[in-house]
Amino acid sequence: MFETIQGEGSFTGIPSVFVRLQGCPVGCPWCDTKHTWSLDDALVTTAHEVINKPQEDEQFFTTDENGLLSLFNDEGYVAKHVVITGGEPCMYDLRPLTTYLHDNGYTTQIETSGTYEVLCDPRTYVTVSPKINMKGGMEVLIGALERANEIKHPIAMQKHIDELDALLKDVSSLEGKQVCLQPISQQKRATELAVKTCIARNWRLSLQTHKYIGIE
């Protein structure tokens, strides 16, 4: 859990509190948060240890909605946009958490792989970054894409765009949804392909600006 600037997608530049939920079976090979994959009870520690650790590791803490908001206050967070990510946050029913946060003056955003049903408050902004043919063998659910406000797809080559096109054929409508292409690892070839495709289709380019400016 930490306060920073949202670096990707439609909310780029917005001060945000990131809450990373533990656990993910999807298995993306390029994942930069692999420390969130394991749900081993032996890794549970205190919130203080997790929030103040000097570097990322697999330890995590547990709390409820009220306890999480208390931690925001204890840490002096001023951002009012909460990004719920992971791991894979939609492994969990997020309706109690997202409703509680909205009712207490926050906006919420979920970042999910689309491999689980999205259970959240109707006011929550849902970003689906569809993870196709990953090691975990999980399918992207059309229901998750239907719920998405934003479909943000990491790409490195034309094959990845073709895979996205195949998914989008089954979505009833893209009206009101923002489609973003995000070059994997800021690769030059991937960036050029993303720019070209976004212009041709009137989609949006999503850059991992936090990596360019060197923040978490």
Q: Binding site residues for S-adenosyl-L-methionine, as ranges? A: 30-32, 87, 129-131
Annotated binding-site members for [4Fe-4S] cluster: 24, 28, 31
CB 110 within 8 A of CB 144: no
Annotated binding-site members: 5-7, 20, 24, 28, 30-33, 85, 87, 129-131
Between CA 59 and CA 212 the distance in angstroms is 27
Beta bridge partners of 155: 183
Q: Considering only CA atoms, which of 129, 144, 127, 116 is closest in space to residue 182? A: 129
Distance from the Cα of residue 193 to its chain's centroid = 23
Annotated binding-site members for Mg(2+): 33
Annotated binding-site members for substrate: 5-7, 20, 85
User: Cis before residue 87, ω within 30 degrees of 0?
Assistant: yes
Q: Considering only CA atoms, which of 13, 15, 18 is closest in space to residue 2? A: 18
